[in-house]
Amino acid sequence: MRSIVVHYKELALKGRNRPWFVQILVQNLKNALKGIGVPRVRSVMGRIEIDLAPEASFEAARERIRHVFGIANFSLAGRAPHDFQALADAILADLADIEVPTFRVSARRADKRIPFTSPQIEREVGGLIKQAKGWKVDLDDAALTIHLEMLPDHAFYFFGKIPGAGGLPSGTSGRLTCLVSGGIDSPVAAYRMMRRGCTVSFVHFHSYPILSRASQEKVREIVTLLTQYQQHARVAMVAFGELQQQVVLAVPPQYRVVIYRRLMLRIAEQLARKWKSRALVTGEAVGQVASQTLENMTVIAEACSLEILRPLVGMDKDEISDQAEAIGSLTISNIPDQDCCTLFMPRHPATRARLADVLRAEAALPIAEMVAGAVAAATIEEFSYPVPRA
């Protein structure tokens, strides 16, 4: 079995855009499978076929494919001619000494011009396998399902389906910029938007050298993990400590957190516009912490004129943590660090900041200058998967 058959689902709904989606998915698979012996990836009648070179490992390919969005499921598959006996022989050779109590054959005709119906194909091929193996046929609850897909020039057969990453192919939904901390939420927020086909760039605010470098290290690990889904990502590391000190000197304690966040958004907005992002992404969820009230969220958002997407806005912390665990970011997020927002954190931040008060407090600060300085001093880091971009 030297092929992989990839099925997509949601794509099928995209009407006239469908060929474009499939083309991007094929290209993403090609990029993801570089360097492991994959000579060809091509779309054939509603599915994608991947050829494996004789030396290529399916396990290596599986790991790469697992991170490609837009896939419903995929399978290691064999190819055989349309002839029933040849098909059964190939299947029997690959089943080797596998023994199961019951089986069924499930056939689909990708090419409807094939002169047999699917039930006919199932009966014929199933009969030959039953004869050779002595297994019972069970149509409802078989221990083994042998899938057949009839294409114009040949048939594919495979024995199971591995769930794909779902979502839409990376690069089909435009660019975003995510504010990523070392916390649990923002990596999940970025993942969810990537899964919708968006290409995500990152901005991280750190307070080095006032605090340690730990948050930057965590963000690098998180972005390395997430880059597996889009193959290339960039992060702007923004030094935020001095700006916070300026805020502390000029702003009453209860408004500081909101003003830090407004500064973050303004800086992120400038970077996002430079990167041609259509919107910002944050990991905010209503009511999760004292500062994330609806009132504060709107006062914070007022600082920026780009759209802000908050994919976690209605989620519970438990749900977010479960997803962080599933994508592998939770263990990174749980590494202790010092978040820049705990720096100079007042004991009682305003939970319902009023815009007028915040604007009055901000008037004491050279905002435009602070933002421009931070943007100019940001350092950009590039991440690639699986191989550095040429």
Interface with ligand ATP includes 180 (CB under 6 A)? yes
Residues 200-229 that bind ligand ATP (CB under 6 A): 203-205
Query: ω into residue 386 within 30 of 0, thus cis?
Result: yes
Interface with Mg ion includes 333 (CB under 5 A)? no
Residues 163-202 that bind Mg ion (CB under 5 A): 181, 183
C-alpha to C-alpha distance for 60 and 66, rounded to whole angstroms: 10
CB proximity list for 111: less than 8 A, separation 6 or greater: 45, 150, 151, 152
Interface with ligand ATP by CB under 6 A: which range of 31-39, 82-90, 282-290, 354-362?
282-290
Residue nearest to ligand ATP (CB): 183
Choose the contact partner of 383 out of ligand ATP, Mg ion, none; CB within 5 to 8 A by kind: none
Residues forming beta bridges with residue 155, ordered by sequence position = 80, 150
C-alpha to C-alpha distance for 101 and 321, rounded to whole angstroms: 40
Give the total of residues touching ligand ATP (CB under 6 A).
Answer: 21
C-alpha to C-alpha distance for 300 and 283, rounded to whole angstroms: 14
Identity of the residue numbered 131: Q
Choose the contact partner of 180 out of ligand ATP, Mg ion, none; CB within 5 to 8 A by kind: ligand ATP
Percentages (nearest 5) of helix, strand, coil residues in the chain:
40, 20, 35
Q: Which residues of 342-376 are buried (b: 16+ CB within 10 A; e: fewer)?
A: ebbeeeebbbebeeeebeebbeebebeebbeebbe
Choose the contact partner of 288 out of ligand ATP, Mg ion, none; CB within 5 to 8 A by kind: ligand ATP
Site map for ligand ATP, 340-379, x if CB under 6 A?
Answer: xx--------------------------------------
Cβ proximity to Mg ion, 264 vs 327, nearer residue: 264
Residue from 235, 275, 198, 228 nearest 31 by CA: 228
Interface with ligand ATP includes 184 (CB under 6 A)? yes
Site map for ligand ATP, 321-340, x if CB under 6 A?
Answer: ------------------xx
Least distance in angstroms from the C-beta of 48 to ligand ATP: 34
Choose the contact partner of 137 out of ligand ATP, Mg ion, none; CB within 5 to 8 A by kind: none
Residue ranges of E strands in the chain: 3-7, 40-44, 47-51, 71-80, 102-109, 136-137, 144-150, 155-158, 162-166, 175-179, 199-206, 232-239, 279-281, 307-309, 379-384
Residues in the chain: 390
Place of tokens 């699986």: 386
Cβ proximity to ligand ATP, 242 vs 339, nearer residue: 339
Choose the contact partner of 296 out of Mg ion, ligand ATP, none; CB within 5 to 8 A by kind: none
Least distance in angstroms from the C-beta of 184 to Mg ion: 8
Among 183, 197, 311, 349, interactor with ligand ATP by CB under 6 A: 183
Strand, coil or helix: what is 281? strand
Which residues contact ligand ATP by CB under 6 A? 179-181, 183-186, 203-205, 264, 282-284, 288-289, 291-292, 339-341
In the complex, the residues that contact Mg ion under the rule CB under 5 A are 181, 183
